[in-house]
């Protein structure tokens, strides 16, 4: 993917008097010719023709995202990093607990399951990589996937543990699991008393020593 990032200046306004509006830009054209003109409210054909004749770039009734100060951005990034570290610790703890429940008939893989590939495992599976959209993973036993699932999952074990995207198709014991319980959060899906129970691994506060 190729991309470019631009910093642009925006002049935000509304039009109450068309003559006054056009006079303003006639007088201040040099100042605003490189700005993006953001206009709220209705724009007549006269104004559109005027702006086009001046080669002014404009948008109408669009809410642009507001910029954040460097300090606010650094604070948000630090918070996200800390939350990510907490989630990682919790995930590793849950992974260890659930891994201890896996049997001797265990397959451990560290390969990305790419689109078009079908992986079928007899017994338990610990997958240390992601499942791409268009891929299929089937296991007769328990299943733990440590990275994002975007493909199809078919699990027949007593439990599975994964994080899925909205693209994923997860079937547990022949029943499709609603993605809203799996998207953007690590979850345990277990079979208890012939019922499917989904338990998110919630973000928890940790008191650092």
pLDDT digits (tens, 9 = 90+) for 47-67: 999 999 999 999 999 887 766
Q: Is residue 2 part of a domain?
A: no
**Residue 203 carries which DSSP code?**
-
**One domain, residues 54 and 134:** no
Residue 137 lies in a domain: yes
Same-domain check for residues 140 and 192 = yes
Determine the 3-state secondary structure of 99 from DSSP.
helix
By residue range, what is the domain housing residue 156?
A: 86-200
Three-state SS string over 39-63 comes to EECCCCHHHHHHHHHCCCEEEECCC
Q: Per this entry, what is the length of the chain?
A: 209
> Does 95 share its domain with 47?
no
Q: Identify whether 66 is part of a domain.
A: no
Write phi, then psi, for 136 (nearest 5 degrees).
-135, 130
Is 181 contained in some domain?
yes
Torsion of CA 53, 58, 61, 62, to 10 degrees: 160
- Tens digits of residue pLDDT in 55-98: 999 999 988 776 666 776 677 666 666 556 555 655 565 556 65
Instruction: Assess if residue 4 is contained within a domain.
Output: no
Pair 25, 124 in one domain: no
Domain-located, residue 5 = no
pTM higher than 0.75, yes or no?
Answer: no
**Do 121 and 41 fall within a single domain?**
no
Q: Based on the fold, state whether residues 184 and 92 are members of the same structural domain.
A: yes
Task: Note whether 50 and 146 are same-domain residues.
Answer: no
Q: Kindly state whether residue 154 falls inside one of the protein's structural domains.
A: yes
Burial 130-152 (b: 16+ CB within 10 A, else e): bbbeebbbbbbbbbbbbebbbbb
For 188-208, what is each residue's pLDDT tens digit?
Answer: 899 888 888 998 875 443 333
The enclosing domain of 112 has a CATH number of: 2.160.20.70
Q: How many structural domains compose the chain?
A: 2
């Amino acid at each position: 993917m190729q991309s470019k990032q631009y910093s642009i200046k925006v002049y935000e306004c509304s039009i109450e008097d068309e003559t006054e509006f056009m006079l303003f830009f006639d007088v201040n054209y040099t100042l605003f010719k490189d700005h993006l003109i953001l206009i709220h409210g209705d724009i007549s054909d006269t104004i559109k023709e005027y702006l086009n004749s001046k080669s002014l770039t404009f948008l109408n009734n669009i809410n642009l995202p507001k910029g954040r100060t460097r300090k606010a951005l650094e604070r948000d990034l630090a918070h996200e990093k800390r939350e990510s570290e907490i989630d990682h610790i919790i995930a590793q703890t849950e992974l260890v607990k659930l891994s201890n429940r896996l049997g001797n008939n265990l397959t451990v893989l560290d390969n990305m399951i790419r689109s078009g590939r079908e992986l079928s495992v007899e017994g338990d599976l610990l997958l240390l990589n992601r499942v791409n959209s268009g891929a299929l993973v089937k296991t007769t036993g328990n299943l733990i996937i440590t990275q994002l699932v975007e493909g199809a999952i078919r699990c027949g074990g007593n439990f599975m543990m994964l994080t899925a995207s909205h693209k994923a198709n997860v079937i547990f014991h022949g029943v499709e699991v609603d993605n809203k319980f799996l998207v953007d959060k690590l979850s345990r899906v277990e079979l208890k008393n012939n019922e499917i129970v989904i338990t998110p691994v919630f973000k928890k506060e940790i008191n650092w020593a």
